Amino acid sequence: MNPSLPAASPAELLARPGVLAVVRPRPDAVAEPFVVLLDDGRAIGLNGHVDLGTGIRTSLTQIVAEELDLALSSVSMVLGDTLWAPDQGYTTASETIQVTAIPLRRAAAQARGWLVGKAASLLGVSAEELEVLDGTISPRTGDGGSCTYAELIAGETIVLDLDDSFPLKDPAAYSIVGKSTRRVDIPGKVTGQWTFVHDVRLDGMLHGRVIRPPYGGRDSGAFIGRSLLRVDESSIAHMPDVKLVVIHDFVGVVAAREEDAEAAARALSVVWADFTPLPDLASPVEAVRANPSTPRILKDTGGVDEALASAAFRRSHTYVWPWHMHGSIGPCCSVAAFDAAGSLTVWSGTQTQHMLRNDLAILLDVAPDNIEIVRLETAGSYGRSGMDDVGADAALLARAVGAPVRVQLSRDQEHAWEPKGAAQLMDVDGGIDADGNLVAYDFATRYPSNMAPMLALLLTRKVDPVAGSGPIGDRNAEPPYDYENMRVVCHDQAPVVRAAFLRGVSAMPNAFAHESFIDEMAEAAGVDPVEYRARNISDPRARDLIRQTAERAGWVPKIAPGKEMIAPDVARGRGFAYSTYLHGPFPGKAAAAAAWVVDVEVNKTSGEVAVTKVVVAQDSGMVINPAGVRHQIEGNVFQSVSRVLMEQVAFNEVAVTSRDWSTYPILKFPEAPVVEAHLVPRPNDPPLGAGESASVPSAAAIVNAVYDATGVRFRELPLTPERVRTGLLEQNGSAPPFARKMKAGAPWLAAAGGLIAAAFTMLSPIKPAIAPIAFEGAGVFTSETIERGRLVAAAGNCVGCHTDGASAPNAGGHALRTPFGNVYSTNITPDVETGIGAWSYPAFERAMRQGISRDGRHLYPAFPYTAFARMTDGDLQALYAYLMSQPAVKSKVPETRLAFPMNVRPLMAGWNAMFHKAEVFTPDPARSERWNRGAYLVEGAGHCAACHSPRNALGAEATGARHLTGGIVDGWDAPALGAYSPSPIPWTEEAYYQYLRTGASAQHGATAGPMLAVVDELSALPDGDIRAMAHYLASRSPSGLSEAATTRRADALTMLGRAQLVPIDNVGARIFDGACAVCHANDNLDMFGGQVSLPLSSTVHSERPDNLIRTILNGVHDPAKGTRGAMPSFARQFSDEQLAELVTFVRKTQAAGKPAWRDVPGAIRRIRTERPR
Amino acid sequence: MTPRTGPLRLTVNGATHQLAVCSGALLLHVLRNDLQLNGPKYGCGLAQCGACTVLIDGKTARSCILPVGGLEGCEIVTLEGLGTLEQPHPVQAAFIAESATQCGYCVNGIILAATALLRRIPDPSDNDIRQALKYNLCRCGSHNEVLIAIRAAARAMTSHMPVVE
């Protein structure tokens, strides 16, 4: 957090008494302060670069405190605010300490010099005789008085122009710089007291969400900004407080509450045009090679072609780097507010605050001077993220609604739209002579550019979506080794997808090629790869680093891969790589240099690669905060191991399809290697940027180690198990048996089938209407009767079918899907015109028992009067009383129009004659009272069979042995209850009870789909009723197993399912691991609410995949209550292909012994394309 | 069904609040917006990353997917409720001592997961800690310091001594 300053602007501050400031004068503008000392004893440093979560704030604080001889706690830093901090360009290329801290340090030294000078004249001694201790100046001798900085500044206004030659403190005298220092921000961050940009709250602030176009991750092409066809405002008409903002392809919603903004963004119906997709992006090699490019020759010395032709050993390879994500843990967020005069303030986590300001000026037609960017810290982004995009989103929405707006991007928006780290293609042709000398190196690198314009500028058509090409691919393009003849070419090209700087930009891929290739040359020369590097590098500092690193790691020289087997399937290997990160345009400026020794283990069967240990040494010159640099090295190691082993952005032909952490997995704690970070002591050399260097050697070190383990060189990343298996098998000359193809199965026939033309005789005459009544009001019923009716209604879940979405309870209109068409439920509120307000009790009873409406029309048995007929008079009367005492809601429901023969309502009379017995439930005297109560509830008001029994071709529930053997409702399988249950564990009475009472049973999982509402309603019933239902249901198919034996069996199945989750060597397994395992792997032992064990769930044991697919797509939401936890919807995260992989994996691993589901992709397509009801 | 609206009693960090929120509102939004707590962070809304973690009755919970409606009567603790700047909880103190985070966005969930772990296993092995953090993502790569800090916290808590600098 930036400290507060005692003025509204720098101009005001520099005119205020009690201030000493060192500034850089600016023509036509207020001078830029670098260091400000205040009469309250505080010192404030100002820097144009920001802290991206790496601890730069602490290091800069150390530098200022050191030069000023102040305690750390007296110094604070203002970073990045456009109003206050100097414009020092983008925070990039690890330049903060190496470059932007130079004037800061100088300013601090100069302030100290002025203060000591003034003290000298006051105390009457020479400046040389004085020393400073935490801002107190006194003679070294200890006598003669003293004064403090604050006293010297009091009442004065001292503004010094920065003197770039002012002498600095001798590093030998440092007491703060070079010492490990605790991070100044961490106490606040670990106690919730730190203000991230996400935590900004303003008075009257509203919450905004954006709805992005379908071309997620693209920012060039004619369709950009021109794809919106229409927005259907009626889709959010039920949310009257939500404001909608549409500007071409920019669509946003604003609401007072965050959950309302989210709900509106989900509900809003937006129709986008189709557009011509770019080439298939699934293979970066083709996409990048096909992308038009301009060759830029960076180096051409000697005669490369001749040297190649005469090389004794020559190899030509292509190295492939995939698109990566920054993968910030916090999706971008920003707050924007306009004041009355039209000036805009944006609270942002940007690292390019001046570019953001200028882009906002273009977007909004506001002068840059009227825009202030307040910079706050955010989640780490490791390069330019979508922060500027979301700042613009917030500004557009704030302008539209005339209030401050906070916009938070969703995870899928962050994943899809963050400007990616670009893919890269490196071609190497090189060789050695017969003596092992490096004679030729012909290197060509192809890098699609990364300028990523602010998204809102494109979406609102303020700028044209023309892909620009930038010269960014040349970082570390030249190898560090002394090839006698060398050609280095960078093929500059426009972006293929939206991209921006990501840690080690273009240097990591280029070094991957150089450092892999040198290993190969070393082996050909018969020299140890460490020794070969040292022998062929002319920079002595680099040679020193290479040797030191190998020594620290206990490197054992080798001239061939060791292929050490440590288990029947597992090989171990060790690899080396070195790089000096070069930032800025070619040939670049050297930042810190780093070298890796890495140990890997390769499972040759599964293809999994584990990085077990990394020893890194880094030469960063003078180190400001050793602990900070060590942490930064470790951070680089973990992140780059993740990138090399696991990461690649997936695309379909239109857009990014990696939209969550399961489709873009990153390294997790269990896989984190042991890291040893060593700092080469160089206290007398200038400090070098340490932010990214340790990432650069990562990829080559790892592939070199995999080579040592297996004898196979990998030149394309990431090293997924699939790629490694294929590589190992290709080496063995056989086709990969793991190549997976979805078997083409027979199309799944919908169980509900089509309409079978059935002729049956129409016998019954049309029924008479029962005269309407003028209802006298609910006062005629006793409250006891109404309460009893409420429970009957709950047992029957009337509201579940008689309510449509968010409309009023029991007002009808909910569509029940049947093979004959949709049946719309009726309004059962006491509205006279559209509900049952004119219904007498006899009319109501006739409907409930015979399925005949008051007006004489036959009702369809989707209304389960076949069950309700069993209810007692007392219950029906109470139900009538309850329904008639609800608020009347005027709501006309859609007319039900079914296919023949069901469209002929009188035919239902014949149906009733065949399938309906209107008889009240008769208790079985041989059974207990509890059993009879349970049977009455299950078979009567509860009408369980309406969903859980199959229906015949005419829609009648099966009876006899097929009663309660499973049905289909709203496309969900209602599983069989009892002997035919798909559950692998018999349902016990206790399990039924838990399930009906709480919505979840430890042995069977949780409710989803239509059953959620049933359990909700049942919560009104007394425990005795639920126990009775459980007793009755369990009695229908006694398992013969004790509760304890059932629990043991369940535990065994759960363990078995858990064991099937490894190895994580395919897409489905990865998605499960990233998205499902947290709640379903049964290994998250500290989790509130426990885990839902899939091996016990009917959903995965069912004959059809429908319930699983629906659960994943819809999630499990229980808006009325939350007791059962919740499962998020993954509809926006998973493509059809990803979902099919996941569903197939779950069935294969969690449904022990069950056959694979047939045509999962077909079921997914069918369910995804269902028309909304 | 119409979600219930009306006063909802939520006990957070020892204080009970009467809140006029929809019962379907997510706990994360209620904590951040109604109670102005910064500890829990939005990271994914999918229970994948752990940035939103809170403790409910001593167990870890993902507030980004949990509706508040069912949490009446539960004891909810956020990072703020664990300890303060002046008196940090031993786990927080260990994280400060080890500078065991980089950007600090994920650290909320990691600290709360560690707290729940240490309640279950006061003296966890390295593997116990790694497994307990399996579902907490950190992108900056502070894994090493986190493991060190949690081991230090465990030592401090079992010996009832403060975290040693």
CATH topology of domain A10-186: Aldehyde Oxidoreductase; domain 4 (3.30.365)
Residue A838: other Cβ atoms inside 10 A: 18
Q: Which of A57, A180, A191 to mutate to test the interface with B (most CBs of B within 10 A)?
A: A191
Is-same-fold flag (A197-276+328-417; A284-302+318-322+422-731)?
yes
Could you report the predicted ipTM of this complex, rounded to two decimals? 0.97
Residue A946: other Cβ atoms inside 10 A: 23
Cβ of A1128 and B111 within 8 Å?
Answer: no
Alpha-carbon distance A1130 to nearest alpha carbon in chain B (angstroms): 8
B94 CB neighbours in chain A (<8 A) are: none
Alpha-carbon distance A380 to nearest alpha carbon in chain B (angstroms): 5
Q: Which of A54, A185, A190, A257 to mutate to test the interface with B (most CBs of B within 10 A)?
A: A190
Cβ of A191 and B99 within 8 Å?
Answer: no
- At A1004, the pLDDT band (50, 70, 90 cuts) reads confident
Cβ of A1086 and B60 within 8 Å?
Answer: yes
Cβ of B107 and A411 within 8 Å?
Answer: no
Summarize the confidence of residues A174-196 as an average pLDDT. 95
Q: In what order do the strands lie in the sheet with A674-679?
A: A564-565, A570-583, A589-603, A609-619, A674-679
The tokens for A319 are: 């190295």
Q: Which residue in B has a C-alpha nearest to residue A411's C-alpha? A: B44
Distances A95 to A381, A533, A580, A688, A705 between C-alpha atoms, Å: 16, 28, 14, 8, 31
Cβ of A186 and B116 within 8 Å?
Answer: no
- The CATH architecture one would assign to domain A284-302+318-322+422-731 is 2-Layer Sandwich (3.30)
Size of interface A-B (CB pairs under 8 A): 277
For strands A228-232 and A206-211, give the pairing: unpaired
- At A455, the pLDDT band (50, 70, 90 cuts) reads very high
The pLDDT, as a whole number, for residue B43 is: 98
Task: Report the predicted TM-score, pTM, of the whole model to 2 decimal places.
Answer: 0.91
Q: Which of A176-180, A1098-1102, B92-96 has the highest mean pLDDT?
A: B92-96
Is the predicted pLDDT of residue A441 greater than 70, yes or no? yes
* Pick from A799, A1074, A1118: CB nearest B48: A1074
Q: Counting Cβ atoms within 10 Å, is residue A706 exposed (0-12), middle (13-18) or buried (19+)?
A: buried
Q: What is the mean pLDDT of chain A?
A: 91
The pLDDT, as a whole number, for residue A736 is: 37
- At A286, the pLDDT band (50, 70, 90 cuts) reads confident
Give residues with Cβ within 8 angstroms of A865, minimum separation 6.
A847, A848, A849, A850, A851, A859, A916
Q: pLDDT tens across A85-128, in order? A: 888 888 877 778 888 888 999 999 999 999 999 999 999 999 99
The pLDDT, as a whole number, for residue B1 is: 32
- At A1136, the pLDDT band (50, 70, 90 cuts) reads very high
What is the distance between the alpha carbons of residues A327 and A765, in angstroms, rounded to a whole number? 70
Q: What is the mean pLDDT of chain B?
A: 93
Q: pLDDT tens across A973-997, in order? A: 999 998 888 888 889 999 999 999 9
For strands A405-408 and A371-375, give the pairing: unpaired
> Quick check: bond before A587 cis, omega within 30?
yes
Summarize the confidence of residues A663-689 as an average pLDDT. 95
- At A1123, the pLDDT band (50, 70, 90 cuts) reads low
Higher pLDDT, A332 or A1010: A332
Domain boundaries, chain A: 10-186, 197-276+328-417, 284-302+318-322+422-731, 740-965
* Pick from A635, A1013, A1075: CB nearest B102: A635
Say which range, A403-407, A635-639, A937-941, has the weakest mean pLDDT. Answer: A937-941
Q: Which of B28, B46, B66 to mutate to test the interface with A (most CBs of A within 10 A)?
A: B46
Q: At what angle do helices A873-884 and A841-850 cross, to 10 degrees?
A: 120
What is the distance between the alpha carbons of residues A1073 and A1084, in angstroms, rounded to a whole number? 12
Q: Which residue in A has a C-alpha nearest to residue B101's C-alpha? A: A186
Residue A402: other Cβ atoms inside 10 A: 11
Q: pLDDT tens across A412-421, in order? A: 999 999 999 9
Domains of chain B (ranges; CATH) run 7-81 (3.10.20.30), 83-159 (1.10.150.120)
The tokens for A1083 are: 């290994």
DSSP structure string for A94-123: T-IIIIIHHHHHHHHHHHHHHHHHHHHHHH
Task: Tally the residues of chain A.
Answer: 1173
Q: Are A319 and A703 in contact (CB under 8 A)?
A: no
CATH topology of domain A197-276+328-417: Aldehyde Oxidoreductase; domain 4 (3.30.365)
Q: Which residue in A has a C-alpha nearest to residue B57's C-alpha? A: A1088
Query: Phi first, then psi: what are they for A786, rounded to 5°?
Result: -65, -40
Q: Which of A61, A329, A1014 to mutate to test the interface with B (most CBs of B within 10 A)?
A: A329
Summarize the confidence of residues A392-396 as an average pLDDT. 98
Task: Tally the residues of chain B.
Answer: 165
Q: Which amino acid is it at A442?
A: D
* Pick from B39, B46, B69: CB nearest A660: B46
Higher pLDDT, A584 or A493: A493
Q: Does A1133 touch chain B (CB under 8 A)?
A: yes
Cβ of A631 and B142 within 8 Å?
Answer: yes
The pLDDT, as a whole number, for residue A734 is: 46
Cβ of B139 and A327 within 8 Å?
Answer: yes
The pLDDT, as a whole number, for residue A279 is: 66
Q: Counting Cβ atoms within 10 Å, is residue A772 exposed (0-12), middle (13-18) or buried (19+)?
A: middle
Q: pLDDT tens across A1024-1080, in order? A: 999 999 999 999 888 788 888 888 999 999 999 999 999 999 999 999 999 999 999
The pLDDT, as a whole number, for residue A1171 is: 64
The pLDDT, as a whole number, for residue A276 is: 64
In 3D space, the residue among A965, A1069, A1041, A1053 whose CA is nearest the CA of residue A1002 turns out to be A1053
Is the predicted pLDDT of residue A746 greater than 70, yes or no? no
The pLDDT, as a whole number, for residue A296 is: 97
3-state secondary structure of A1078: helix
Q: Does B24 touch chain A (CB under 8 A)?
A: yes
Q: Which of B22, B56, B72, B102 to mutate to test the interface with A (most CBs of A within 10 A)?
A: B102
The pLDDT, as a whole number, for residue A416 is: 97
The pLDDT, as a whole number, for residue A277 is: 65
The pLDDT, as a whole number, for residue A1122 is: 46
* Pick from A662, A809, A1089: CB nearest B48: A662
Is the predicted pLDDT of residue A328 greater than 50, yes or no? yes
Alpha-carbon distance A913 to nearest alpha carbon in chain B (angstroms): 35
What is the distance between the alpha carbons of residues A618 and A278, in angstroms, rounded to a whole number? 42
Q: Are A965 and A958 in contact (CB under 8 A)?
A: yes
Say which range, A343-347, A425-429, A685-689, A693-697, has the weakest mean pLDDT. Answer: A685-689
Question: If contacts are CB pairs under 8 Å, which of residues 68-107 in chain B contact chain A?
Answer: 68-71, 78-80, 82-85, 88, 92, 95-97, 99-107
Q: Are A293 and A470 in contact (CB under 8 A)?
A: no
Q: pLDDT tens across A485-505, in order? A: 999 999 999 998 999 999 999
Q: pLDDT tens across A863-893, in order? A: 899 999 999 999 999 999 999 999 999 999 9
Is the predicted pLDDT of residue A737 greater than 70, yes or no? no
* Pick from A193, A637, A1120: CB nearest B23: A1120
Alpha-carbon distance A282 to nearest alpha carbon in chain B (angstroms): 25
The pLDDT, as a whole number, for residue B5 is: 55
* Pick from A54, A1119, A1128: CB nearest B46: A1128
Q: pLDDT tens across A587-614, in order? A: 999 999 999 999 999 999 999 999 999 9
Q: pLDDT tens across B74-127, in order? A: 999 999 999 999 999 999 999 999 999 999 999 999 999 999 999 999 999 999
The pLDDT, as a whole number, for residue B2 is: 38
Give residues with Cβ within 8 angstroms of A616, minimum separation 6.
A549, A594, A595, A596, A633, A637, A675, A676, A677, A678, A694
What is the distance between the alpha carbons of residues B142 and A1152, in angstroms, rounded to a whole number? 39
Percentage of chain A with pLDDT > 90? 75
Q: In what order do the strands lie in the sheet with A424-432?
A: A293-301, A485-493, A438-448, A424-432, A313-321
